[in-house]
Amino acid sequence: MKIGYARVSTRDQNLDLQLDALKRAGCERIYQDVASGSKTARPALDELLGQVRAGDVLVIWKLDRMGRSLKHLVELVGNLIERKVGWYLICLHRWPSLSAN
């Protein structure tokens, strides 16, 4: 299943561009947060991470939409790899080629 995640930093920003791209990418479910990238509380991302299963694909607009910091991003990606969840970056038009090795 393709699962999308979108985030904006403030309520003044608009999720529409990300949501449209996620829908065009074929996401069956889309989770969204309005939160600064530096904040730890991101309920939609937490729910998404609790729902994804092996074989699912997490689709995001850009890498900076997912992680609070480089360390947090590395932890999230490592968790996805361990759980055999794929991920796709729309802005790069590619699948990141990372492995658990």
Q: Which residues belong to the active site?
A: 9
Residue 80 corresponds to which amino acid?
L
CB half-sphere exposure, 91, CA atoms < 13 A? 9
Sign of CA dihedral 54, 80, 22, 14: positive
Rounded to the nearest 5°, which phi and psi values hold at 37? -60, -25
Vertex 22, ends 10 and 90: CA angle to 5°? 90
